[in-house]
Amino acid sequence: MTKKNAQDWVTVGALRGPHGLRGMVKAKIGLDDPDMLLSGPVVAEDGRQWRVKKWQQVGQGLLALQLEGVASIEAAEGLRGIAIKMDRSGWAVDEGEVFVAALVGMVVRDAVGDEVGRVVAVTELPAGPAVEIEVNGKRGLVPVAVEFMAVAESITLTELGEDVLQVAVG
């Protein structure tokens, strides 16, 4: 990756292996709009980067990506298991929206404003993202949804969010 602010880089997915015979790569992508992949290079942790020339849905929640410079099944096979990131600094964010990766490190408060913990990770579940919150050395998952939390300078749990966290951490 380049020497940009580390907070500007967000993991957008993982490469899963070849799709077809011409070097397309299957990928599990966590973007609401896959066209965002066309806006800039995707970058691996080791610094390798590729431009996405086109994408198509292939089923089972996967996309097939045509990456610039990847033209054979062997080259695509060599990319299996690689996490890919993108620079999000130029992406437009609508009011009230946040990148879930930006939630890591945020203070979590209960409904009256008292600090109860911190977000230590974001997990992608089948129903959507959830934050992993550490409370007194224990961790619990709370879905990222308005029914469970409000996000501003910190995360404020709703009553339902507090209940879910309480069940998770005991």
Per the structure, how many domains does the chain have? 2
DSSP code per residue over 29-90: E--S-GGGGGGS-EE-TTS-EE-EEEEEEEETTEEEEEETT--SHHHHHTTTT-EEEEE-TT
Single out the residue in 87, 122, 147 at which a domain terminates.
87
Instruction: Tell me if 153 sits within 8 A of 166, measured CB to CB.
Output: no
Q: With respect to residue 71, please indicate whether it lies within any of the assigned structural domains.
A: yes
Query: Does residue 5 carry a pLDDT above 70?
Result: no
Residue 143 maps to which CATH number? Answer: 2.30.30.240
Q: What is the pTM of this model?
A: 0.63
Do 66 and 106 sit in the same domain of this protein?
no
What are the tens digits of pLDDT across the range 98-135? 777 778 899 999 999 999 999 999 888 878 889 999 99
Instruction: Tell me if 119 sits within 8 A of 132, measured CB to CB.
Output: yes
What are the tens digits of pLDDT across the range 28-59? 998 888 999 998 899 998 999 999 999 999 98
Could you count the other beta carbons within 10 Å of the beta carbon of residue 32? Answer: 8
Residue 59 maps to which CATH number? Answer: 2.40.30.60
Mean pLDDT (the chain) is 89
Range of the domain at 36: 6-87
Do 127 and 68 sit in the same domain of this protein?
no
**pLDDT score, position 138:** 95
Q: With respect to residue 83, please indicate whether it lies within any of the assigned structural domains.
A: yes
Helix (H) / strand (E) containing 64: strand 62-67
**pLDDT score, position 2:** 45
**pLDDT score, position 1:** 45
